[in-house]
Amino acid sequence: MAQFRILLLAAILMFSGVVVDAYGPGDNGYVGLRDDYYGTSCKDVETVIKKAVQAELAKNLKHAAGVLRMHFHDCFVEGCDASVLLDGPGTEKTAHVNEKLAGYEVIDAAKAAVEEVCPGVVSCADILAYAARDSTVELNGTAWAVQGGRKDGTVSLASRAEAELPPPEFEVSQLIDSFARRGLSVRQMVVLSGSHTVGVGHCDKFVSRLYNFNSTFFTDPTIDPAYATELKNICPQHTFNTTIEVFMDVITPTSAGVFEANYYKTLQEHKGLFTSDQSLFDDTRTKATVTSLLNNERFQKEFGKAMRAMGRVGVKTEGQIRTNCRAVNTY
């Protein structure tokens, strides 16, 4: 009965033109975020950002995956407040976990273009959220509506990034817990992990699965044996090179990646690169979700909704709108 009432309410809201997300903290007016937030204050902002992002990615399409990951690393540390963009000793970007994070110049270019048309109006946190969407679309992903209204933070600590970002050794229980602390569901966690359909990982992030795995198995038995051999050839024990890039999605291993549901297929084939990937298929709590997301249309649709939910994590209603995304305003 209660469920029926919620469905009825959802139906009424939908027919009245109000956007209702199937899950997440709720879309409408939540911490002041809105679709078309800059509709009157900077009406062309999304077009301006998209053009700047496209021009930057034309120089280096690999930065598309970088920007998508950057938004995640921003939101999970101090909330989505552009804390990841701040330069300086000991800031988040100096953390080991952010060592390979790339594409900051994409955000600089977008910010510069936005300041030309509406100076002092659009936050860096919002620019990063729009740019993450635009980058996904450049890799053939389906677009979603991005909410605006985030303020920029002033705190950025490498130690917080190290402590808050989930490492690749995490298994399902730890992943569920990490996402739940940000109000994100188990399903949203599995959907957002689908980002690993694009981009690359480095040997140091998964060698522990290849050699001296545990007291019973030298190599993680959840890795397809032929794939394990391939990874060992790329990353020799003790002498691996941490600048070598390994495509996370072995089905479509193109230089920048293609944003589609193939990630879930790699998990089914036991070719997930990290424990945090493969365990999603090997755990009863998430296996059925992995299988259902093999459907690309469903994946794309749910990904956009999950990104909207991730984009609401820890959002600040008080704060600044930085002039330079790399530094806090001092005035």
Ligand X SMILES: *[C@@H]1O[C@H](CO)[C@@H](O)[C@H](O)[C@H]1NC(C)=O
Task: Select the binding partner of residue 216 from ligand HEM, ligand X, none (C-beta < 5 to 8 A, by kind).
Answer: ligand X
In the block, tokens 């985030």 appear at: 150
Which residue's CB atom is positioned nearest to ligand HEM?
Answer: 199
Tell me if 299 contacts ligand HEM by CB under 6 A.
no
77 annotated ligand-binding residue = yes
Q: How far is CA 32 from CA 18, 27, 249, in A?
A: 15, 10, 37
Chain center to CA of 53? 17
Contact between 284 and ligand X per CB under 6 A: no
Query: What six digits make up the tokens of 64?
Result: 């598309």
Considering only CA atoms, which of 35, 164, 56 is closest in space to residue 105? 56
In whole angstroms, what is the distance from residue 60 CA to residue 39 CA? Answer: 30
Binding ligand X (rule: CB under 6 A), the pick from 165, 258, 294, 321 is 258
Residue 35: helix, strand or coil by DSSP?
Answer: strand
Give me the least distance between CB of 248 and ligand HEM, in Å please.
7
Cβ neighbours of 153 (radius 10 Å): 27
Nearer to ligand HEM by C-beta: 101 or 124? Answer: 101
Residue ranges in 200-239 that form contacts with ligand X under rule CB under 6 A: 214-217, 221-222
How far, rounded to the nearest angstrom, does the alpha carbon of residue 221 sit from its chain's CA centroid?
28
Does the annotation flag 166 for ligand binding? yes
Nearest to 197 by CA among 304, 277, 287, 138: 277
Say how many residues make up the chain. 331
* Nearest approach, Cβ of residue 86 and ligand HEM (Å): 20
Tokens linked to 20:
């209702």
Number of alpha helices (DSSP H) and beta strands (DSSP E) in the chain:
13, 4
Regarding 173 and contact with ligand X (CB under 6 A), the answer is no
Q: Which does 120 bind (CB under 5 to 8 A by kind): ligand X, ligand HEM, none?
A: none
- Nearest-angstrom CA–CA distance, 14 and 35: 15
Q: Which of 53, 65, 77, 158 binds ligand HEM (CB under 6 A)?
A: 65
Strands (E), the chain: 34-35, 147-148, 200-202, 245-247
73 has catalytic annotation? yes
196 near ligand HEM, judged by CB under 6 A: yes
Binding to ligand HEM by CB under 6 A, coded x per residue (else -) over 118-157, reads ----------------------------------------
Q: Determine which residue in the list 48, 106, 158, 192 makes contact with ligand HEM, applying CB under 6 A.
A: 192
* Residue 99 CB, nearest approach to ligand HEM (Å): 7
Tell me which of ligand HEM, ligand X, none is bound by residue 258, counting a contact when its beta carbon lies within the kind-specific cut-off of 5 to 8 angstroms. ligand X
To the nearest whole angstrom, how small is the minimum distance from the Cβ of residue 89 to ligand HEM? 22
Q: Quickly count: other Cβ atoms within 10 Å of residue 30's Cβ.
A: 16
Catalytic residue among 73, 96, 238, 270: 73
Distance in Å, CB of 149 to ligand HEM, minimum? 20
Question: Which residue in 58, 174, 39 sits closest to 118, CA to CA?
Answer: 39
Q: Tell me which H or E stretch contains 34.
A: strand 34-35
Name the one range near ligand HEM by CB under 6 A: 46-54, 144-152, 194-202, 314-322: 194-202
Determine if 168 is a binding residue for ligand X (CB under 6 A): no
CA 30 to chain centroid = 20
Interface with ligand HEM (CB under 6 A): 65-66, 68-69, 72, 100, 102, 166-168, 170, 175, 192-193, 195-196, 198-202, 205, 274, 276
Catalytically active residues, by annotation: 73
